[in-house]
A and B are shown apart, each in its own frame.
Chain A
Amino acid sequence: MMRKKPVDFILFALTWLSIIATATVLILVVGYVLINGVPHIRPSLFALQFTTQNQSLFPALMGTLMVVGLSLILAVPLGVFSAIYLVEYAKRGSRFVKIVRLTTETLAGIPSIVYGLFGFIFFGVFLGWGLSLMSGAFTVSIMILPLIMRTTEESLKSVPDTYREGSFGIGAGRLRTVMRIVIPAAIPGILAGIILAIGRIIGETAAIIFTLGNVARMPNNLFDTGRTLSAHMYALANEGTHPGEAHATAAVLLIVVILINALSSRIARLIKAS
Chain B
Amino acid sequence: MAKTNKFSLKNVDLWYNNFQALKNINMNIPSNEITAFIGPSGCGKSTLIKSMNRMNDLVEGCKITGSIMLDDESIHGHIDVNALRKRVGMVFQKPNPFPMSIFDNIAYGPRTHGIKSKFKLNDIVEKSLRDAAIWDELKDRLKKSALSLSGGQQQRLCIARALSVQPDVLLMDEPTSALDPISTAKIEELVINLKKDYTIVIVTHNMQQAVRISDNTGFFLLGEMIEYGDTQQIFSAPSDKRTEDYITGRFG
Task: Answer whether residue A78 sits at the interface, using C-beta atoms and an 8 A cutoff.
Answer: no
CA A171 to CA B86, docked complex, whole Å: 5
Given A162-B92, A162-B96, A163-B99 in contact, is the A169-B85 Cβ separation under 8 Å? yes
Task: Answer whether residue B30 sits at the interface, using C-beta atoms and an 8 A cutoff.
Answer: no
Of A42-50, A61-69, A128-136, A179-187, the one touching chain B = A179-187
Taking CB atoms, residues of chain A closer than 8 Å to B98 are 163, 166-167, 181
Given A91-B60, A163-B99, A165-B55 in contact, is the A170-B94 Cβ separation under 8 Å? no
Binary CB contact string for chain A from 7 to 34 against chain B (1 if under 8 A, 0 otherwise): 0000000000000000000000000000
Using a CB–CB cutoff of 8 Å, the interface residues on chain A facing chain B are: 91-92, 160, 162-163, 165-173, 176, 180-181, 184-185
B55 touches A171 (CB 8 A): no
Of B35-43, B105-113, B129-137, B230-238, the one touching chain A = B105-113
Partner of A170, one of B99, B100, B108: B108
Task: Answer whether residue B25 sits at the interface, using C-beta atoms and an 8 A cutoff.
Answer: no
Task: Answer whether residue B53 sits at the interface, using C-beta atoms and an 8 A cutoff.
Answer: yes
Task: List, sorted by A's number, 10 A–B pairs whose CB atoms are closer than 8 Å.
Answer: A162-B94, A166-B98, A169-B89, A169-B162, A170-B108, A171-B84, A171-B113, A171-B165, A172-B82, A172-B108
A165 touches B96 (CB 8 A): yes
A171 touches B108 (CB 8 A): no
Partner of A169, one of B55, B83, B94, B99: B55
Q: Closest Cβ of chain B: how far from A86's Cβ, in Å?
A: 15
Task: Answer whether residue B182 sits at the interface, using C-beta atoms and an 8 A cutoff.
Answer: no
CA A181 to CA B82, docked complex, whole Å: 16
Partner of A163, one of B58, B86, B96: B96
Identity of the chain A residue whose Cβ is nearest the Cβ of B171 in the assembled complex: A169
Using a CB–CB cutoff of 8 Å, the interface residues on chain B facing chain A are: 53, 55, 58, 60, 82-86, 89-90, 92, 94, 96-100, 108-109, 112-113, 158, 161-162, 164-165
CA A170 to CA B58, docked complex, whole Å: 14
Q: Closest Cβ of chain B: how far from A98's Cβ, in Å?
A: 15
CA A165 to CA B113, docked complex, whole Å: 17
CA A91 to CA B59, docked complex, whole Å: 11
Interface of chain A, main secondary structure? helix
Given contacts A92-B60, A168-B55, A170-B85, 19 further A-B contacts (CB under 8 A): A165-B55, A165-B90, A166-B92, A166-B97, A166-B98, A166-B158, A168-B85, A169-B53, A169-B89, A170-B86, A170-B165, A171-B83, A171-B84, A171-B86, A171-B109, A171-B113, A172-B108, A180-B108, A184-B99
Count how many pairs of residues, one from A and one from B, have CB atoms less than 8 Å apart in the complex.
63
CA A225 to CA B92, docked complex, whole Å: 58
CA A160 to CA B97, docked complex, whole Å: 11
Taking CB atoms, residues of chain B closer than 8 Å to A176 are 112
Taking CB atoms, residues of chain A closer than 8 Å to B161 are 166, 170
Taking CB atoms, residues of chain B closer than 8 Å to A160 are 96
Given A165-B55, A180-B108 in contact, is the A170-B162 Cβ separation under 8 Å? yes
Partner of B112, one of A163, A165, A171, A185: A171
Given A180-B108, A185-B99 in contact, is the A170-B92 Cβ separation under 8 Å? no
Identity of the chain A residue whose Cβ is nearest the Cβ of B161 in the assembled complex: A170
CA A172 to CA B109, docked complex, whole Å: 8
Taking CB atoms, residues of chain A closer than 8 Å to B60 are 91-92
Taking CB atoms, residues of chain B closer than 8 Å to A168 are 55, 58, 85
CA A163 to CA B95, docked complex, whole Å: 10
Partner of A171, one of B85, B92, B94, B99: B85
Q: Closest Cβ of chain A: how far from B56's Cβ, in Å?
A: 11
> Which are the 6 A-B pairs with shortest beta-carbon distances?
A171-B86, A162-B96, A169-B90, A171-B85, A171-B82, A170-B109
CA A92 to CA B53, docked complex, whole Å: 22
CA A162 to CA B97, docked complex, whole Å: 9
B89 touches A170 (CB 8 A): yes
Taking CB atoms, residues of chain A closer than 8 Å to B113 are 171
